[in-house]
Amino acid sequence: MLLQKTIKNFTQNPKNDILSGLTVALALVPEAVAFAFVAGIDPLVGLYGAFMMGIVTALFGGRPGMISGATGAMAVVMVHLIQKGNEVGDALTTPIDNLGLQWLFITLLFVGGIQILAGVLRLGKFVRLIPHPVMMGFVNGLAIVIFLSQLGLFKEKVGDEMVWMSGSSLWMMLGLIALTMGIMFGLPKITKKVPAALAAIVVVAAIVIFGKIDVSTVGSFIQDGGGEGLQGGLPTFQDQIFTLFYTIGDNWSLILSTAIILAAVGLIESLMTLNLIDEMTETRGSGNRECVAQGGANILNGLFGGMGGCAMIGQSIININSGGRGRLSGAVAAIALLCFVLFGAPLIEQIPIAALVGVMFMVVIGTFAWSSFRILNKIPLTDAIVLIAVSAITVWQDLAIAVIAGVIMSALSFAWKSATMIRARKRIKEDGTKVYEIWGPLFFGSTTGFNSKFDVSTDPENVEIDFIESKVGDHSGVEALRNIANKYKDAGKNVTLTHLSPDCKAMLLKWDPDFNTIIQDAIDDPRYHVVTDMMDSEV
């Protein structure tokens, strides 16, 4: 069954997958190079990283059509590690050049191990806990980040400095961007047989090459950043890293902490991308399988000299919008990227940066949730605050921190609302027993409200606390219940707990077996059976 499904993912629409894969490969080049510059390493390391991440996740990942490669979120985390490694290497009795890069390869082995462990432990399912306002804030912030990342491409080298474009060079850049965006907007209205992004890149590149127009290209971008070009060979096994463990010395805490952060950032960004592509395609991927594939790809990067990475949201959206829905699209993108390095560097280096910027600007327009402006005044205030905060934190810090902050804010908001929901309906039975019918969850946030419902001093001799509409959720709830029971006991009164669900009863007895003396097992309300059966089926 798994083999049949895998084959189907490769053969369902090969033409679209191949064309969209080529489009993505072209868009991957400047991104991988730029992120390598951010990390302070050779551009080829970024390209190798994008190839290895792309091919492994395309073949074995949890989401057909999703693209992985070198990413900015992870590159930023790598900077300090690489700098520290280079400092240590320069200070050795026998100096070692680029020791920071070797430390990165070692760190990626741990990153991969952590991510595989997350998949084995099935932690990928926690992406389902991400609220919709966080998701909308995430895509809005992402769109802004993609837009801002393109602005750096509006610089040109004058002497030894990079300065903002002006005059004719700026107008030419804007004109080519507008032409690219125009083709991408108009071509789908005529035909959808060819990916609009690929057609736009080819047309604009042809105009620049045959018209001999002097504009910034992929080649000039690499040279301006200090690189020597795209040309390179196959990735090679980095056996030297196993002889360099001794250089780490007292810096193991840096290696391991960086590995944990990289693993967390990579998984969060990948699982969020998977969730987004799921919504776009109305299908469902496997978060746990994606965790394992990402981990395996990062280990491969450490062994064969890539910078590692995770899912790339912008390129994934380009792929989906270009018709790439199968695993073949990701595989083609990765293989084409490697072919560019091996054979096509002179041609790819002639592609104008403006064409790639135009493609990414269209991604920005397609990614941003414009509907969020329309619904801001219609959703709860807390959800609106979360949406705006996640967008802002994504731009200010990074995607992972923004998502974590958004989930925490949403969880606190939910806890506060749930804490105010605790109620107690009071009535007196014919035999004089006072009944407190509890409604709402009893957990750490509602214990204060729960305690305030009881009047121990004036209550009759027999008291019954009915949990037919309530559930004890955590240790704080158990402790609150025990304290109330003790207060009635100290006052010489009898208290009985009724209609506890089986899991609540088990939790209470595990905490204090004496609860058994006050828990009433007889069930006389048919609603209880319904609630219990539903809960058991959900579990």
The angle that helices 399-419 and 132-151 make with each other, rounded to 10 degrees, is 160
Query: Residue 422 and residue 470: Cα distance in Å, rounded?
Result: 9
CATH number of the domain encompassing residue 527? 3.30.750.24
Q: Which residue has the higher pLDDT, 512 or 340?
A: 340
DSSP reduced 3-state for 216: coil
Q: Is 389 helix (H, G, I), strand (E, B) or coil?
A: helix
Give the model's confidence band at 500: pLDDT under 50 very low, under 70 low, under 90 confident, else very high. confident
Residues 391 and 432 in one domain: no
Write out the residue range of the structural domain in which residue 389 sits. 381-418
**225 within some domain:** yes
For residue 220, give the nearest of 353, 47, 40, 337 by alpha carbon: 353
Domain end, chosen from 418, 433, 463, is at 418
Start-to-end CA distance of the chain, whole Å, equals: 27
Q: Is the pLDDT of residue 528 over 80?
A: no
Structural contact between residues 400 and 264, judged by C-beta atoms closer than 8 angstroms? yes
Supply angle C-alpha 332, 41, 96, rounded to 5.
130
- Structural domain tally of the chain? 3
pLDDT score for 47: 92
Average pLDDT over residues 308-329: 89
At residue 531, the pLDDT reads: 40
User: d(Cα 272, Cα 198) in Å, to the nearest integer?
Assistant: 26
Of 522 and 506, more confident: 506
Same domain, residue pair 331 and 400: no
pLDDT for 533 equals 41
18 and 116 share one domain:
yes
**Same-domain pairing of 335 and 387:** no
> Closest by alpha carbon to 242, among 307, 302, 308?
302
Q: Residue 301 in contact with residue 310, Cβ under 8 Å? A: no
Domain final residue, candidates 418, 437, 472: 418
The tokens of 429 are what? 């039975």
Q: Within this chain, do residues 409 and 455 fall inside the same structural domain, yes or no?
A: no
Please check whether residues 334 and 390 belong to one and the same domain: no
Q: Does 525 have pLDDT greater than 60? A: no
Residue 66: name the closest of 256, 300, 327, 243 by CA: 327
* Residue 120 confidence class, pLDDT cut points 50, 70, 90: very high
* Residue 7 confidence (pLDDT): 56
Scanning 166-217, the segments in alpha helix (DSSP H) are: 167-190, 196-210
For residue 6, what pLDDT band results from cuts at 50, 70 and 90?
A: low
Is pLDDT at 529 greater than 50 in this prediction? Answer: no
Residues 386 and 470 in one domain: no
Instruction: Give me the percent of the chain exceeding a pLDDT of 70.
Output: 94
Residues 200-253: pLDDT tens digits?
A: 888 999 999 999 998 888 888 777 766 667 788 899 999 999 999 999 988 999
Q: What integer pLDDT is reported at residue 366 of this predicted model?
A: 82
Within this chain, do residues 340 and 403 fall inside the same structural domain, yes or no? Answer: no
The pLDDT of residue 8: 57
Residue 334 burial class via C-beta count within 10 angstroms: exposed 0-12, middle 13-18, buried 19 and up: buried
Please report the pLDDT score of residue 54 as a whole number.
95
496 and 405, same structural domain? no
pLDDT exceeds cutoff 50 at 451: yes
Digit-coded pLDDT (tens) for 125-134 = 777 777 888 8
Residue 364 lies inside a defined structural domain of this protein: no
Q: From residue 489, give the alpha-carbon distance in Å to each of 299, 365, 410, 518.
A: 61, 66, 39, 11
Query: Does 248 lie in the same domain as 133?
Result: yes
Report which listed range, 58-62, 414-418, 476-480, is most confident.
58-62
What's the rounded Cα separation, in Å, for the pair 314 and 321? 11
What's the pLDDT tens digit per position in 26-52? Answer: 888 877 887 787 787 888 899 999 999
pLDDT tens for 66-102 read 999 988 778 878 888 999 999 999 988 888 988 999 9
Q: What is the mean pLDDT of residues 517-534?
A: 55
Phi, psi of 285 (to 5 degrees): -95, 180
- 68: its two tokens: 């992985």
For the chain, the farthest-separated pair of C-alpha atoms sits apart, in whole angstroms, at 99
Task: Please spell the DSSP secondary structure of 25-83, one letter per residue.
Answer: HHHHHHHHHHHHHHHTS-HHHHHHHHHHHHHHHHHHSSSTT--EE--HHHHHHHHHHHH
State whether 440 and 328 are in the same domain: no
Q: Identify which has the larger pLDDT, 127 or 403.
A: 403
Mean pLDDT of 346-367: 86
Asked if the structure places residue 259 within a domain, the reply is: yes
Average pLDDT, the chain: 85
What is the predicted pLDDT for the residue at 227? Answer: 65
**201 occurs within a structural domain:** no
Residue 57 has pLDDT above 90, yes or no: yes
List all residues 6 or more positions away from 214 whose beta carbon is below 8 Å from its beta carbon: none
| Distances 127 to 54, 275, 317, 456 between C-alpha atoms, Å | 22, 8, 19, 45
In a domain, 234, yes or no: yes
pLDDT the model gives residue 72? 77
Tell me, yes or no, whether 30 lies in a domain: yes
- Per residue in 303-313, pLDDT (tens digit) is 999 999 999 88
Kindly report which listed range (55-69, 447-461, 525-539) carries the lowest average pLDDT score.
Answer: 525-539
User: 418, 438, 468 — which closes off a domain?
Assistant: 418
Q: Are 70 and 43 within 8 A, CB to CB?
A: no
β-bridge pairing 423-428 and 155-158: unpaired
Q: What is the C-alpha radius of gyration for the chain, rounded to an integer number of angstroms?
A: 29
Q: Across-strand partners of 68? A: 311
Q: State residue 464's pLDDT score.
A: 92
Residue 313 lies in a domain: yes
Is 517 in the same domain as 501?
Answer: yes
